């Protein structure tokens, strides 16, 4: 990070507005504060008590429940609400943004958001974003300044996004400790369907199927050990967030579910027809694939 | 634990033979040694170098690659090999066991093992066992004395098992820090199909489906974060062990896979036909089920 460059000056002097003080927005604000980024960190939240709490935590300098007021002075706006709320908020804030304002979002799917960003007034600089981090605990109380450290942070620029605005967004992402990765929105959505949305749904279906057994036999949950706990962890993710993700990415998600079902059908066939050699081969291939992915160990 | 009772004396004075010095057997031996249980801890392993290593680690007093020799003096035999190896070994050791010998196994499925145990000579005391703990790392090098601490440890007695032998098995399980749970073998197998074998297979299918995407797009794995890592962790389990489990429990496993597929089909239907209200309801129910299982948090 070049601390003498133009990006450094722009970040240091920028007035930020964080929209949505949940886990992601709260942690983003805390990271800015901890690293001394921004002339001020302002916020918008639909509940004033949450803003009060964020002020107490030292995450923001102040805030408002009025979104159009909240963005009026911002040099950089960060939208940190669920995907469909972001799309709605982009429509609301558009006419009130300063010319040259960088608009970054943290939504988990990008195609619909980038499309909505394209309708922002000319002169505004939108860039889609999606930090690959999080926790199963929602809300400002779970926020932490270190949440983004080391996380891959895809950025999806639009055709209209200027090189300078993309540079600034990359610089901002690096400045909170994350690793920017510029990628096309639809490609991003396909990949997260595979490595994020499908895992959530496999966890959800696992819980649904095991819960049926648990309703029949009270010893089910007492027998569940760390293997079940880890494999089902994502089923405890924030439902509002995941629902928006699934709905805005339903084509890629549905494609992955069909792909997954082919593996399921194959597995059932191998088991029921006692094709043991082939079954062993499949499990060994999976083992190798899991172990070769060193980046996720 | 009543340290003045008959169980205490019997454990303290017992000669143990652990068959199979992998993660489970090695950890069992270490736990006995650390807690001073047993007059001696002997072992059987097909590779002599592993026995040498276990002696160096202080897990066992000695051992042999000859299984019939290895069990001849044992008061308590613990079989810690994969399920189908256990079934084979039960046949081999039967004629060489001392009268009154307690035979406990650590196999992950119980019906086939309990059936094989029923063919042991009269006078021998078999009890099935299945500690609900483990790691994705196999072998004596991964063994640790604390592996069983706090783990639920199902015990599946046979009709022929005497109350005194079951008591001793429960006492042994408690003495290494685990929590015995007496349960019928087939009921055990149904429940672990739901909370252990299904999670393994959902993880395996997730890796298989995501690996297909990864072969098409090199950015797939770099985007995978902790959610994918946890949900797919079990796909890295020891393949030999899991294969034996699936084959010996294929009826219950196949039943669970069909149950799981009903949830998958339902989910695909909800997504593709944009039945959003119902989808939200399903995800909320799953969230509640996941959070209500306090024992696995």
- CATH 1.10.3660.10 range(s) for chain B read 188-296
From chain A, the residues in CB contact with B226 under 8 A are: 133
Give B 106-145 residues with CB within 8 A of chain A: 132-134
Query: Which residues face A153 on adjacent strands?
Result: A180
pLDDT at residue B294 above 70? Answer: no
Residues above pLDDT 70, as percent of chain B? 97
Question: In this predicted complex, what is the ipTM?
Answer: 0.89
pLDDT given for residue A2 in this prediction: 46
Enter the tokens of residue A139.
């809300």
Query: 24-43 in A: which are within 8 Å (CB) of B?
Result: none
- In this prediction, residue A297 carries a pLDDT of 44
Q: Cβ contact (<8 Å) for A227 and B134?
A: yes
Q: Do A224 and B295 count as a contact with CB atoms less than 8 A apart?
A: yes
**What is the predicted pLDDT for the residue at B296?**
53
Which residues on chain A are in Cβ contact (under 8 Å) with B261? Answer: 261, 264-265, 268
pLDDT of residue B123: 95
Q: What is the pLDDT of residue B56?
A: 97
Tokens of B9: 């004396």
> What digits encode the pLDDT tens for the residues B239-252?
998 999 999 999 99
Residue with tokens 């046979």: B158
Of A210, A220, A204, nearest to A260 by C-alpha is A204
- State the Cα–Cα distance between residues A93 and A96, nearest whole angstrom: 5
Statement: residue B3 has pLDDT above 60: no
pLDDT digits (tens, 9 = 90+) for B214-247: 999 999 999 998 899 999 999 999 999 899 999 9
Which residues make up the CATH 3.40.50.720 domain(s) of chain A? 6-183
Mean of pLDDT over chain A: 94
B226 phi-psi bin (left φ>0, alpha ψ -120 to 50, beta other): alpha
To 10 degrees, what angle do helices B250-272 and A250-272 make?
160
B192 Cβ neighbours under 8 A, 6+ residues apart = A223, B108, B109, B130, B249
The label of the residue with tokens 């300098």 reads A61
pLDDT of residue B122: 96
pLDDT at B297: 43
Within an 8 Å CB–CB cutoff, is residue B57 touching chain A? no
Q: CATH says A6-183 is which class?
A: alpha beta
Asked if the model's pLDDT at residue A152 lies above 60, the reply is: yes
The pLDDT assigned to B134 comes to 83
User: Is B272 in Cβ contact with A199 (below 8 Å)?
Assistant: no
CATH label, A188-296, candidates 1.10.3660.10, 1.25.60.10, 3.40.50.920, 3.40.50.1580: 1.10.3660.10
pLDDT per position as a tens digit, A157-212: 999 999 999 999 999 999 999 999 999 999 999 999 999 999 999 999 999 999 99
What's the pLDDT band for B22 if we cut at 50, 70, 90? Answer: very high
Res B2: pLDDT: 46
Alpha carbon distance A110, A158 (integer Å): 11
The beta-carbon neighbor of B225 closest among A133, A217, A227 is: A133
Looking at residue B5, its pLDDT comes to 64
Return left, alpha or beta for A22; rule: phi > 0 is left, psi -120 to 50 is alpha, else beta: beta
- Locate tokens 């958001």: which residue? A113
Of A210, A276, A280, the CB nearest to B195: A210
- Put simply, the chain A residues between 226 and 285 with a CB less than 8 A from any chain B CB are 226-237, 239, 242-243, 246-247, 250, 253-254, 256-261, 263-265, 267-268, 271-272, 274, 276, 279-280, 282-285
Q: What is the pLDDT of residue B273?
A: 95
Q: Which of residues 144-163 of B touch A (CB under 8 A)?
A: 151-152, 154
- Note the pTM of the prediction, 2 decimals: 0.89
A147: alpha, beta or left? (left if phi > 0; alpha if psi -120 to 50): alpha
pLDDT one-digit tens code per residue, B80-129: 999 999 999 999 999 999 999 999 999 999 999 999 999 999 999 999 99
What DSSP character marks residue B38? S
């Amino acid at each position: 990070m070049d601390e003498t460059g133009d990006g450094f000056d722009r970040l240091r002097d920028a007035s930020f507005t964080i929209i949505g003080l949940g886990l992601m927005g709260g942690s983003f604000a805390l990271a800015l504060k901890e690293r001394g980024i921004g002339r001020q960190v302002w916020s918008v939240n639909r509940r004033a008590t949450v803003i009060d709490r964020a002020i107490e935590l030292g995450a923001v300098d102040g805030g408002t429940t009025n979104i159009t007021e909240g963005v009026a002075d911002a040099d950089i706006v960060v939208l940190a609400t669920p995907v469909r709320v972001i799309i709605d908020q982009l429509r609301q804030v558009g006419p009130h943004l300063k010319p040259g304002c960088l608009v970054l979002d943290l939504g988990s799917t990008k195609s619909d958001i980038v499309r909505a960003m394209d309708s922002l007034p000319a002169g505004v600089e939108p860039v889609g974003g999606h930090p690959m981090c999080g926790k199963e605990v929602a809300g400002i109380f779970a926020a932490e300044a270190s949440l983004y450290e080391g996380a891959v942070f895809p950025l999806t620029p639009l055709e209209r996004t200027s090189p300078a605005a993309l540079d600034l967004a990359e610089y901002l992402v690096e400045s909170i400790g994350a690793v920017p990765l510029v990628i096309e929105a639809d490609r991003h959505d396909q990949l997260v369907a595979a490595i994020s949305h499908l895992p959530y749904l496999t966890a959800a279906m696992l819980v649904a199927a095991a819960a049926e057994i648990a309703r029949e036999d009270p010893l089910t949950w007492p027998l569940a050990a760390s293997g079940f706990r880890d494999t089902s962890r994502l089923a405890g993710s924030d439902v509002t967030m995941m629902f928006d993700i699934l709905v805005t990415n339903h084509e890629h998600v549905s494609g992955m579910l069909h792909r997954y079902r082919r593996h399921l059908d194959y597995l059932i066939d191998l088991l029921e027809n006692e094709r043991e050699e082939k079954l062993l081969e499949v499990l060994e291939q999976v083992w190798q694939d899991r172990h070769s992915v060193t980046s996720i160990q």
